[in-house]
Structure 1
Amino acid sequence: MTTTWLGPEGREADLAAMRDEELDVLVVGGGIVGAGIALDAASRGLSTGLIEARDFASGTSSRSSKLIHGGLRYLEQFDFELVQEALHERGLLLTTIAPHLVRPVPFLFPFAHHWERFYIGAGVTLYDTLALTSRNNRGLPSHRHLTRSGALRVFPALKRDALAGAVQYWDCQVDDARFVSTVLRTAAGLGARIASRVQAVGFLREGEHVVGARAADLEKGEEISIRARQVVNAAGVWTDEIQEMVGGRGQIHVRASKGVHLVVPRDRIQASSGMILRTEKSVLFVIPWGRHWIIGTTDTAWDLDKENPAASRTDIDYVLDHVNQVLRTPLSRDDVEGVYAGLRPLLSGESEETSKLSREHVVAHPVPGLVLIAGGKYTTYRVMAKDAVDAVAHGLGGGIPKSVTDRLPLVGASGYSALVNQRHRLARETGLHVSRISHLLRRYGTCARDLLDLVREDPDLGRSLAGADDYLRAEIVYAVRAEGARHLEDVLYRRTRISFETWDRGIAAAEEAAELMAPLLGWDKGQAEREVEYYRKGIEAERAAQEQDTDQEADAIQHGAPEIVPEAGILRP
């Protein structure tokens, strides 16, 4: 195994190797699906490269509901196969692949009328039964029925007259962006070449065959050619545009659906469980998230800026209005610490409502040498990756080993439970409070040892980051040295979640974080100051957009915020 650290030096070496060698497979897109494809391909012995135009997980894969789940609501659409597949993957993630990152969380499903108990109970019973078809899911408790009084003991924040009873069931959650970086690090350990801020600007062609990609290194402003026997495009909401560049729409048509989430302090809602509510369009989750709650999501069609979708006042009010229908003490906009918006890539059918579009995925081979994959759910990323690499194997003429990712633990998983049992000893050895050790273990698994080594080498890194007490200074350094962060926004938005977990959305932490990053990335004082200024302008644009009533008004403001690394432009033939 090679190093799993995605540091600045590794990026340069990987880009040089991609420029100089022909790969078996080049993956375009560094979200969860692209990361999963890179891992699957590398674990089958294929020489693999991955490029991402922005930061890893900068799109949909860092802006989800943070859930690993079967999709309870899809049972109403009779999509039993999708739910069963997702529940199987949930079990694998919880027990084998990422027990250090995926953890169980209970959800209360309240109902207002007694007759709903049978309907909801039957659905949740089927949900648990489908989960039991996979032996990996047996670690989660079964659902239980609660009276009104029992439900209020679990969720005292509910209005008494808003429910007649409830069913409590279990699902799982994950830090979505952290999970992507961990998948990528695991792929790197198996030899995959990985680089962010490298944008595909065209395809290399030999007749009808795609034989690689032209790519722009956005950090240096240089163009390189990367040759590959197969190219896999995991572009999510950009799938249609890319298909057009290689000769037509083909088999896949993707529509973007915007989902907006609000973050509020934990003390605003008194409860010991998450909650799921039915809405007129979909469902609304109230999800425990450390010292916070995540509340969402919306589900509306989006055809504006795909890079950085904006949340409007209307979106925020929609979420607040729906959750306040059942809360004894209503939430107001003053309670909202953070807001984030993401786009789901949905496979378009005949329905005009995005909430009814398919979450199943499709793999297509529109021209020789190019594989496209789109659709799906975060939870089923591994299945999507397997199917994409199976298509690659077919394009390579066969003879490629089968996927092994269903039994391949991610970096940080092996030995995790034993290290958790040693947390008190680690606290004594390092001088950190045991709660800090637990925090690191939940975020990094056994890789927490790497951060503790940093603290031993420089005790000053064991201090909290100014303006973001939940995070250590060592985590900022580690984000650059091991996790591929190249800019301040990469750290505050994705390697940590400071951008939505603090009232000022990370402004107070920005300067110190930039100072820690500067020597690792070769920034002079001017560049460090620019990083802070660009981050501040981005937050200001987000806040201003969230005061607008329409998507168009919000997008116009947020789209105007400058990018610290401008893109080279859309894919061109």
Structure 2
Amino acid sequence: MMISEREREPFAAGLPFGAGDSLDPLRRDCDLTELTGGLLDVLVVGGGATGAGAALDAASRGLTTALLEGGDLASGTSSNSSRLLHGGVRYLEQMEFGLVREALHERGLLQDLAPHLVQRMSFLYPLTHRVWERGYVGAGLTLYDALAGIGDRHGFRRHRHLTHRALLREAPQLRRDAAVGALAYDDGHVDDARLVVTLARTAAREGATVLTRVRVNALASRSDHTVATCEDLLTGTEFTVRARRVVLATGPWSGLTQQMLGDQQVGVRASKGVHLVVSRERLRLDSALIARTPHSVLFLIPTGDVVLVGTTDTPWEIGPGPVLPTGADVRYLLDQANQWLSDPLTRDDVLGVYAGLRPLVDQPDRNSTTAISREHVVKEVAPGVVVVVGGKLTTYRIMAKDAVDAVVRGLPKVRPSVTEHLGLVGSNGYAQAWNRRDSAAVAAGLPVAAVERLARRYGADYPALLTLGRRNPELLEPVPGTPSLLAAEVLYAARHEAAMTVDDILRRRSRAGLETADGGVSAAPHVARLLAGALGRTASWAAEQAGSYTHAAEVTHSALDTSADAELVPLLADLAGRWSGAA
């Protein structure tokens, strides 16, 4: 049975096809045909932050560029971070001054390039010793301020010293005996998955072809180009793509993609990072908190209606692919957080848990993943093919620039990178659109807070979503089961943001799947039917999508009964075998 015309109508009537920055599924067949018919300048493999950044960098230099991603945009590392843009205060102790300075520069720059996605956030560093620690940490933050050039137009403030009383005023949820005072400083916050989607759309605006659910199965180096054997995972069709140059930005999969060329020249070690999601009503924080733990760093990060509690930093030996948290990970994070909280959190307070892999450059002399440098490496692993690995979300643009600089050597008349001055989709006119949010809310019949959330998610493009409600006001209502996601956003994600599955919508285009007590399961059928109408799918497809999402949520919940990563293997195999695709 097909989705009815009535269910299709809101989508068909609302949004025009063919916008230059739209990742439109109806363009997909044409894009695939064009890919097989010529010789690209640059092929980027991997659709995370670095891959999307590399596609944008290459395309904005005037190079014919394509990005291929086997899953969804940001479906690996780049949707499972702490969502911070920061220099890394703890890297100062490791004498990584260059890394910190570079990251702080990029933090401020990205606030210019994507002001809708980046917000300044105040951090509290609690002190447990009265004299030496205040001096030691204060000296480090003085250097942090100096490396950032605080006092510039980006609005990040110099660090401040807080007494015990001032700390409790800032964060009354803390135990009175947990600290003797604190230092406060500023860093940046960003929704990592939405940043990647925005980068990919900006790359498309600059002329790049961006295709998801296309897996590269083999790479063969020729004298003057590389041949990629690819598979369209939606249809099973195999085809080849030829490119003069190739950038491998495949994160934890970098070892596997290098092996396609015969050898792994840059070793990769994966570190698992786990975060808990707690309602902000349960843990009322206006400032983030950072503290040391025995094995990593504790973050309590307020974002929207929730607080993120993270993170772990443990070796992941199972290999690239799906990754799950264990019950031991949850207990560890709760124990670390509760050392600071007057009202301890329990497992019942946890709305969601997510885990991701950090792809670190292997350093055999470092036994612990926490000791491995976050510097990135760019290396030519075959003629005309470079791999880029390591780094951090904050420095994605530098990593992308370095990779493209390296791979295009030898090509004639290649222009320098311009991404330092290239605003991302949604940034142009954002200040004016933000100033109009009150009148936009009145016209749409929405609370101002709802329009502000749309503005921070879509930037100056948010009026396009409100326009959908003029013909069908129901599209400006929340999807049943998730108060933070409007029906119009599902349609917009399908037309403009390459969303093809329920998981794409609930875990990456929005975070509703992590911010509701049932993991978004009750919203899944509604999202699936909206997607089916948008993508021309059947009711049975919608039912399968909802079922796949529900099953994945059940597997994740089952993982929380385990105590070690080794116990996750059968659950990971289940997830890998039941890929929630759009076919």
Q: TM-score range by the shorter chain?
A: over 0.9
1:4 and 2:21 are equivalent in the alignment: yes
Q: Distance in 1 between matches of 2:26 and 2:96?
A: 46
Equivalent in the alignment of 2:149: 132
When the two structures are aligned, how many residues end up with a matched partner?
Answer: 563
Equivalent in the alignment of 1:416: 430
Give me the identity figure in percent. Answer: 47
CA deviations on 1:104-147 (whole Å, 9 max, x unpaired) are 0111000111121111111111111110079454x112111000
1:213 and 2:228 are equivalent in the alignment: yes
Quote the offset at 1:282 in angstroms.
Answer: 2.3
CA contact (8 A) 2:229 2:238 kept: yes
Q: Distance in 2 between matches of 1:136 and 1:409?
A: 17
Question: CA 1:440/1:55 → structure 2, altered by over 3 Å: closer, same or farther?
Answer: same
Question: CA 1:374/1:549 → structure 2, altered by over 3 Å: closer, same or farther?
Answer: same
Q: Distance in 2 between matches of 1:112 and 1:469?
A: 40
1:99 and 2:115 are equivalent in the alignment: yes
Secondary structure of the 1:508 match is coil
**RMSD of aligned residue pairs (Cα, Å):** 1.6
What letter corresponds to residue 19 of structure 1 in structure 2?
Answer: T
What letter corresponds to residue 60 of structure 2 in structure 1?
Answer: S
What letter corresponds to residue 51 of structure 2 in structure 1?
Answer: G
In the TM superposition, what are the counterparts of 1:395-434 in structure 2 within 5 Å? 395-396=410-411, 398-434=412-448
Equivalent in the alignment of 2:289: 275
Aligned residue among 242, 250, 275 for 1:227: 242
Equivalent in the alignment of 2:183: 167
Q: Distance in 1 between matches of 2:403 and 2:22?
A: 26
Equivalent in the alignment of 1:336: 350
Aligned residue among 258, 262, 267 for 1:247: 262
Quote the offset at 1:332 in angstroms.
Answer: 0.6
Q: Distance in 1 between matches of 2:388 and 2:204?
A: 22
CA contact (8 A) 1:545 1:555 kept: no
Q: Distance in 2 between matches of 1:305 and 1:510?
A: 29
Aligned residue among 540, 550, 555 for 2:564: 550
Q: Distance in 1 between matches of 2:487 and 2:260?
A: 44
Equivalent in the alignment of 1:571: none
CA deviations on 1:2-43 (whole Å, 9 max, x unpaired) are 611112112222212111121100100000000000000000
Secondary structure of the 1:20 match is coil
Question: CA 1:133/1:331 → structure 2, altered by over 3 Å: closer, same or farther?
Answer: closer
1:40 and 2:57 are equivalent in the alignment: yes
What letter corresponds to residue 478 of structure 1 in structure 2?
Answer: Y
Equivalent in the alignment of 1:200: 216
CA contact (8 A) 1:29 1:50 kept: yes
Secondary structure of the 1:268 match is coil
Q: Distance in 2 between matches of 1:75 and 1:187?
A: 34
Q: Distance in 2 between matches of 1:346 and 1:270?
A: 34
Q: Distance in 2 between matches of 1:500 and 1:525?
A: 26
Quote the offset at 1:377 in angstroms.
Answer: 0.7
Q: Distance in 1 between matches of 2:254 and 2:579?
A: 25
CA contact (8 A) 2:226 2:384 kept: yes
In the TM superposition, what are the counterparts of 1:342-353 in structure 2 within 5 Å? 342-349=356-363, 350-353=365-368
Secondary structure of the 1:470 match is coil
CA contact (8 A) 1:91 1:134 kept: no
In the TM superposition, what are the counterparts of 1:47-196 in structure 2 within 5 Å? 47-94=64-111, 96-115=112-131, 116-132=133-149, 135=152, 137=154, 139-196=155-212
CA contact (8 A) 2:234 2:581 kept: no
CA contact (8 A) 2:72 2:504 kept: yes
Quote the offset at 1:340 in angstroms.
Answer: 0.1
Q: Distance in 1 between matches of 2:273 and 2:436?
A: 40
Secondary structure of the 1:267 match is coil
CA contact (8 A) 1:204 1:227 kept: no
What letter corresponds to residue 14 of structure 1 in structure 2?
Answer: D
CA contact (8 A) 2:247 2:403 kept: yes
Q: Distance in 2 between matches of 1:428 and 1:265?
A: 28
Q: Which sections of structure 1, spanning at least 5 residues, go unmatched?
A: 569-573
Equivalent in the alignment of 1:535: 549
What letter corresponds to residue 442 of structure 2 in structure 1?
Answer: R
Q: Distance in 1 between matches of 2:257 and 2:67?
A: 17
Aligned residue among 238, 242, 255 for 2:253: 238
CA deviations on 1:175-214 (whole Å, 9 max, x unpaired) are 100110000000101110010000000114325x652311
Aligned residue among 470, 473, 486 for 1:459: 473
What letter corresponds to residue 202 of structure 2 in structure 1?
Answer: T
Equivalent in the alignment of 1:373: 388
